[in-house]
């Protein structure tokens, strides 16, 4: 959580303060998560260690001030991995990438630094695990978000993306009685790790 600490607090009245108290201001709706802070640090350390240029696939975080600051230090943000010259060093953003992106990086001999958030990696692993067990997946989040693209790319053949309540209402999942091996619902759902709790609650029935 990102906070700013001032010298005094007065329960809303600045005229009544105590030197032993602090006034804490919380950013709304929220500050950076640990995964984003880690990814920003990865870019800074890479620039300090290897020097510019350092290519970064997609914005390391959706924050224009942070992106501009890193760009001034020598980070080059690109939309697709194809925009990185062969053999160059590239950082994957905190939102993660699909297996297809990793394969392209390998073929083009890119020197990859993976700044994917560990929680996002866990979602990828869980998606693959459930797919191997025969489950279909419902992935909740905005379909054009970088994180959704990466997770969907793990097992696209069994994954459906749901971006709003209307899509959730119209969702059709495979018949749970179709399998003699698993006579129970064979669908699992997951959501974008960075999806806010209020947004997630809107899908509850």
- Is residue 103 among the annotated active site residues? no
Say whether 42 sits in a helix, a strand or coil: helix
Q: What are 23's strand-pairing partners?
A: 6
Residue with tokens 């994180």: 147
Contact, 76 vs 90, CB < 8 A? no
List the catalytic residue out of 72, 80, 103, 147: 147
Q: Count Cβ neighbours within 10 Å for each residue of 37-59 and write b for 16 or more, e otherwise.
A: eebbebbbebbeeeeeebbbbbb
What is the rounded CA–CA span in Å between residue 156 and residue 97? 13
Residues marked as catalytic? 147
């Amino acid at each position: 959580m990102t906070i700013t600490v001032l010298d005094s607090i007065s329960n809303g009245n600045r005229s009544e303060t105590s030197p032993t108290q602090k006034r804490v201001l919380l950013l709304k709706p929220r500050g950076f998560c640990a995964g984003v802070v880690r990814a920003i640090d990865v870019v800074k350390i890479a620039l300090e260690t290897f020097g510019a240029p350092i290519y970064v696939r997609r914005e390391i975080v959706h924050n224009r001030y942070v992106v501009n600051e890193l760009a001034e230090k020598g980070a080059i943000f690109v939309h697709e991995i194809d925009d990185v010259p062969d053999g160059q060093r590239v950082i994957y953003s905190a939102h993660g990438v699909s297996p297809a992106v990793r394969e392209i990086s390998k073929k083009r001999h890119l020197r990859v630094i993976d700044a994917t958030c560990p929680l996002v990696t866990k979602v990828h692993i869980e998606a693959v695990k459930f797919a191997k067990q025969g489950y279909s997946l419902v992935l909740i989040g905005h379909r054009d978000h970088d994180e959704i693209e990466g997770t969907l790319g793990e097992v696209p053949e069994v994954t459906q993306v749901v971006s709003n309540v209307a899509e959730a209402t119209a969702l059709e999942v495979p018949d749970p009685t179709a399998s003699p091996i698993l006579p129970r619902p064979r669908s699992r759902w997951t959501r974008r790790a960075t999806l806010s709790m209020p947004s997630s609650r809107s899908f509850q029935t």
